[in-house]
Amino acid sequence: MVTVTPLVRRSSFIVERVRVHAEELAYLWQRRRAARRSPELALHDFTYLAERIEAHLQGMLVAGEALGAMFGDVLRGDDRDEVFSAAWALLRSGRPDNARRVLEAFAAADGPVIEGFADALTMAPAVHTEATLLAALVHGSPAHAAAAALALASHRRLDTSSAQFGQLLRYEDPGVAALAWRALLVLDSSPDVPRPPFAEALRRPVAALRSAVLEVAVWRGEAWVPEAIRRLAADGDACALGWYAALCPEDEQRAVLELLSAQPVPQRVALAARLGRPQALAAVLAWMADPDPALAAAAGQAWERMTGLSVEGKRTSLPPAADADPIEEDFPVELWLPDLPRAQAQWAENGERWSAGQRWCRGFDVQTALTSEARRRVDLEAFWDFGARAALSGTRVFPPPAAV
């Protein structure tokens, strides 16, 4: 009689597949970080990206008790997103021993990976981490304290009136200070806590810090911030110029366009699209006729972003610069020039309606209303700009962007 020995399963998962899930999660997390305010992706694209990230996380969690042994060494790596991937999975496993691994590695980390830990500690439940985060806020290095503040704020466990947090907002390292300011973005302002040092922070000539401070001020509805943005934009501050485009009232659109004219081609056209006002539409239509192919192509993209109508025409290549690398000569930058007659026909058909509107994105007037269809179509930058305008006027129609 023939007998068959039963198959003995040595593992309930395939190690290589779990590691692939971790790599994909790290890659997609990097994309998510870059896409939070994308002028190209819509909210449903961002949601789909988040769903893919969650799916890869579930693929890692099948490792069960072996997860800590598999990814403990990754926690001590130097890649921010790989550290996030490992730390988030270990924290989401719900096991106290895995949380301890993450917290020990967090305490020993330095450099950019601290923000990877901050992302993971923010995104995961704080049931096993809150006590350590509170201790890090008081006793940790400034970078660790700022990361802990961001995570605690996301879990509504940060005391913004504490002396330690106030020191972080003023810390000399702008990266640390910016991380602390991001913690304020997720919390509602309260009259019972000290006023954040807005003016002091805005005087510091650091773009990333100013960006964080202005975002907090706008979403808190600070009455002084429109004038501060005008002043900073007039001085050439790039972040303030972006906010000026997003927030400017109808009677200041010409002033914004004058400031834009001094910007390099990509920024100039992108800011005009963010402005979205009727005068910006007219300016972009004129730029499409410019002999500079880079300006004309960028204008065509901005036109589609504002109107929702394609004007894609002939494909061309930019000539390499005189000092270009040989690789650039072999692979020149390719552009789609706009079909100017088509754009002019679209203006002839829709110009009266566009001119009567206030602020256009993907064919929707998004100055004062955001319909369900508009929410599905407009890009993330326009979506958050709509919420910021409402918040600045005194009404939060939805929460600000996620802290991570």
Q: Is the pLDDT of residue 43 over 60?
A: yes
pLDDT (0 to 100) of residue 12: 75
pLDDT tens per residue across span 244-301: 999 999 999 999 999 998 999 889 999 999 999 999 999 999 999 999 999 999 999 9
C-alpha–C-alpha distance, residues 117 and 399, integer Å: 24
DSSP 227-249: HHHHHHHHTT-HHHHHHHHHH--
Residue 47 reports pLDDT greater than 90: yes
Asked if 44 and 51 count as a contact pair (C-beta separation under 8 A), the reply is: no
Q: What is the pLDDT of residue 331?
A: 72
The pLDDT, as a whole number, for residue 235 is 93
What value does the mean pLDDT of the chain take?
93
Distance CA 337, CA 326 (A): 25
Q: How confident is the model at residue 317, as a pLDDT?
A: 84
Compute the distance between CA of residue 343 and CA of residue 304 in angstroms, rounded to an integer.
Answer: 10
DSSP code string of 147-164: HHHHHHHHTT---TTSHH
CA distance 169 to 209: 10
pLDDT above 90: residue 193: no
pLDDT of residue 2: 64
What are the distances in angstroms from CA 332 to CA 98, 165, 260, 321?
49, 49, 27, 10
Is 70 exceeded by the pLDDT of residue 79?
yes
Q: Are 151 and 126 in contact (CB under 8 A)?
A: yes
pLDDT at 332 (0 to 100): 75
Token digits for 342?
Answer: 């088509």
In this structure, the strands spanning 360-361 and 364-365 are antiparallel
The answer to whether the CB of 287 falls within 8 A of the CB of 296 is yes
pLDDT greater than 70 at residue 323: no
**Phi–psi pair at 321, nearest 5 degrees:** -65, 165
d(CA 251, CA 274): 16
CA 58 from centroid of its chain's CA atoms: 24
More confident residue, 2 or 304: 304
For residue 381, give both structure tokens: 């930058």
Structure confidence at residue 6 (pLDDT)? 62
From residue 42, give the alpha-carbon distance in Å to each of 86, 127, 133, 241, 382: 28, 33, 34, 23, 9
pLDDT of residue 227: 97
Supply φ then ψ for residue 337, to 5 degrees: -70, 145
The pLDDT, as a whole number, for residue 74 is 97
pLDDT digits (tens, 9 = 90+) for 366-397: 999 999 999 999 999 999 999 999 999 999 99
pLDDT for position 194: 83
Q: What is the pLDDT of residue 188?
A: 78
Structure tokens, 337: 């020039």
Percent of the chain, pLDDT > 90?
A: 88
Give me the mean pLDDT over the 337-354 stretch: 97
Rounded to an integer, the average pLDDT of 22-41 is 97
**Whole-prediction pTM:** 0.92
Q: pLDDT for 93-144, tens place per residue?
A: 999 999 999 999 999 999 999 999 999 999 999 999 999 999 999 999 999 9
- What pLDDT band is residue 4 in, cutting at 50, 70 and 90? low
pLDDT, residue 327, reads 67
Report yes or no: 305 and 362 within 8 Å, Cβ to Cβ: yes
Percent of the chain with pLDDT over 70: 94
Whether 201 shows a pLDDT value over 80: the answer reads yes
Per-residue pLDDT, 318: 77
DSSP state of 316: E
For the beta carbon of residue 373, count every other beta carbon within 10 angstroms. Answer: 11
Q: How many helices (H) and strands (E) does the chain have?
A: 22, 4
